[in-house]
Structure 1
Amino acid sequence: MSPKNELPVAWSRLDVAEGLCVGTLVTERRGYRLEAGEVVADPRERYSCRFSVSTDLAWNTRSARVDVVGPRGAHVLELVNRSGQWTVNGAAALELEGCVDVDVAAAPLTNTLPIRRLGLEPGEHRDIQVAWVDVPELKVTRIRQRYTRLLPEDGVDRYRYSDSGYGTFELTVDRNGLVIDYERLARRIS
């Protein structure tokens, strides 16, 4: 199934004083591209982030670029995946070997990758290893995530996301796998 909506969507951050994310999903000839940006203005942190993630037609991440402007200035992170072999800013990243997805913490858009790729039925779950990008620090770590597809509610698909570092959250998604509501973190406003 190809995504039909290439219009940007926007999310309001729920976990910071002021935060707004805008993102889109673009169908390309050889895969998909996620484009998003986020601005956060909070007493604890202020930054802007822009990222792009490219996948193949099976939703496997091929590359990601994350640009951040924050307290330490402007920084760029580039990730490339060639058949499970990752590089971070051109250097081999053996700790990411075998990861299929990138999860950029800046916006709920990258949750679309495993949701689309896994094709879970209600009641099914899958554990995956992902290259998780902390924003605004741009630190990359390997993290195990679990996605469980729940029964739809009011015509909306639902998933439970969990990992050992941040906990468990419920996600609702539209027909394209784009997050509508990310419990305690973000809510779609358009």
Structure 2
Amino acid sequence: MLLRAARRWQSLDVEPARIERATAEHGAAGGRATGTVVDAAGSTVLRYLVTWDARWCTRTVDVERASGPPLALVADGLGSWADDAGALPLLDGALDVDLAGSPLTNTLPIRRLRLAVGGAADIVTAYIPEGDRPPTTSRQRYERLAAMRYRYTSLDSGFSALLDVDPVGMVERYEGLFARIP
């Protein structure tokens, strides 16, 4: 593997805080990440497995949420998605997944886009909300402000936050939402 990383984050916007534990691996053919988000009582809020291809485009997403049915999505890496029931045209155009409650999935567009400092790109993600709501698309912008700093903006809501990342593009601090912990 060219990249192997294990990370933990604490939520900053939920009291009591939630903790996410994730492991990511990436090699020449692509990669995968597994993670679990737990609440203060240790109960699982979210469990996921995400895979991607060599270009960092999402290929599969398996999610178990504390409330709501499990999700199993497949993407072709070109913007088409499906589940067990068939095609999901609502998600057309998304190359990345965005899991609510997890900073890990910010790594995928950061790595895929390879923005130069000062560069920006607008993307569409397959957004997986918390609870029992179905996936939808989310229009987003990533701007690379410095070697290890990005600005994330939701083009749908106008929400914006600074993301400080480590050398492999994984979030160290997501302004107002998450902070990496040892």
Shared topology, TM-score over 0.5?
yes
After superposition, residues 25-36 of structure 1 pair within 5 angstroms as 25-28=24-27, 30-36=29-35
Structure 1: segments with no counterpart, 5+ residues: none
Matched, 1:158 2:153: no
Residue 160 of structure 2 aligns to a residue in which SS?
Answer: strand
Deviation digits for residues 36-77 of structure 1 (CA, Å, limit 9, x no counterpart): 1101359xxx8521001100011011110001123x6xx310
Q: How does 1:112-131 map to 2 (within 5 A)?
A: 112-131=107-126
2:131 is aligned to 136
1:76 aligns with 2:73: no
The equivalent residue for 1:86 is 81
CA–CA distance in structure 2, aligned partners of residues 166 and 11 of structure 1 = 24
Give distance in 1, aligned partners of 2:157 and 2:40. 24
Cα distance in structure 2, aligned partners of 1:127 and 1:188: 26
Please show how residues 1-190 of structure 1 align to structure 2 within 5 Å.
2-3=2-3, 5-6=4-5, 8-17=6-15, 18-28=17-27, 30-41=29-40, 48-70=45-67, 75-82=69-76, 83-152=78-147, 157-163=148-154, 164-165=156-157, 167-190=159-182
Q: Could you say which structure has the higher strand fraction?
A: 1
The separation in 2 between residues aligned to 1:122 and 1:29, in whole angstroms, is: 25
Write out per-residue CA displacement over residues 122-161 of structure 1, whole angstroms, 9 at most, x where no aligned residue: 1100000110000232521111000000124xxxx00000
Letter in structure 2 aligned against 1:78? A
Q: Do 1:54 and 1:62's aligned partners in 2 also have CA atoms closer than 8 Å?
A: yes
Compute the TM-score of the two structures, normalised by the length of structure 1: 0.86
**Consecutive aligned runs of 4 or more in structure 1 exceeding 4 Å deviation:** none
TM-score by length of 2: 0.90
Matched residues, number: 178
- Residue 162 of structure 1 deviates from its aligned partner by 0.4
SS of 2:66 mapped into structure 1? strand
Pair 2,148 (structure 1): closer, same or farther in 2 beyond 3 Å: farther
Whether the 8 Å CA contact 1:49–1:136 is kept in 2: the answer is no
Per the TM alignment, residue 34 of structure 1 is displaced from its structure 2 partner at its CA by: 1.3
Whether the 8 Å CA contact 2:72–2:84 is kept in 1: the answer is yes
Distance 2:55 2:129 in 1: 25
